[in-house]
Amino acid sequence: MKTRLIFSLPPSSLRIGVVEAENVQVKDSSAEYRARVNHEIEHLLSSDFIYPDHKQKGIRSLLKTFGFHPSGRSRPASEFLFKDLQNRGGFNFINNVVDINNHISLVSHLPISVIDIDKSGFDLCVRVGLDEESYVFNREGHELSLKKLLVIARNGAAGAAFGSPVKDSQATKVFGETKNVAFFVYTSSNITSEDELSRYLDTIARILKSETGALHVKTLVVDANP
């Protein structure tokens, strides 16, 4: 795996799953994959569905470890996707790579970042956002404050952040020209066992191969404090 993560964090139970893939073809998801997604998220649209309390509280507790308060517009991406799904009454298909990200985030109830790794570089740092730090997260130019938020950033002197469990930077998002990608699944050792997280990563890897023609797909589970 080319992606290298350096942790610069206070002690925590943070556990990150990484999937790296080369030579992806970004396009609309196939009809077969759309059918699979719609089948697997169907139960989430039921008025009787109850969001898993241990996942919601666990992720929020993890982010609070670093001083961040996840709520409202700054709630974890997995919660945002669930609310958006119910409000729309269906899955919002964007492109095959982003669809994989959102599909697995919804079924796992874990926030996931997906980035164009050529835009970010492979040497990365997992750290806490600075007090005055922010990045633009959409086409409209809206900014997310990164103060006390767990972020993934470029390693080195510049060290600009581009990913988080809340929203990702517009600067490294996946578009049609993207060729190489990396997924980062955020959880903790208190929420998700290594075996369970590995299964989610393997699922992402399999779908990447079948839906995008990805080559050299690799997975990794890493604990911030092993």
DSSP 122-134: SEEEEEEPPTT-E
Return the axis-axis angle of helices 96-108 and 31-41, rounded to nearest 10°: 20
Q: Tell me the pLDDT tens digit for each residue of 59-109.
A: 999 999 999 999 888 999 999 999 999 999 999 999 999 999 999 999 999
Q: Tell me the pLDDT tens digit for each residue of 173-188.
A: 999 999 999 999 999 9
Asked if residues 187 and 7 have their Cβ atoms less than 8 Å apart, the reply is no
**CATH architecture assigned to 4-223:** 3-Layer(bba) Sandwich (3.50)
Label residue 157 by pLDDT band (50, 70, 90). Answer: low
Helix, coil or strand: residue 84: helix
Return the axis-axis angle of helices 194-212 and 96-108, rounded to nearest 10°: 160
Taking the alpha carbons of 24, 92, 199, 221 in that order, is the dihedral positive or negative? Answer: positive
